[in-house]
Amino acid sequence: MRSIQLALVGAFDVLLAGLLFGAGLPVVYALAMRALTLRSTTWVDDGGTIHSRPSLLGRGVSGLLIAVIVLGVLLGLVLIVSSGFGKTLSFENIIPTIVDKK
Question: pLDDT of 2-55, one tens digit each?
Answer: 788 888 888 888 888 777 777 888 889 999 999 999 889 999 999 999 999 999
In a domain, 75, yes or no: yes
Q: What does pTM read for this prediction?
A: 0.71
28 contacts 65 by C-beta, under 8 angstroms: yes
**Within-domain flag for 1:** no
Domain presence at residue 4: no
Burial of residue 16, with CB atoms counted within 10 A of its CB: 0-12 exposed, 13-18 middle, 19 or more buried: exposed
Q: How many domains does the chain have?
A: 1
Domain-embedded: residue 62: yes
93/102 Cα distance (integer angstroms): 17
13 occurs within a structural domain: no
| Structural domain span for residue 52 | 27-100
Read off the amino acid at residue 62: S
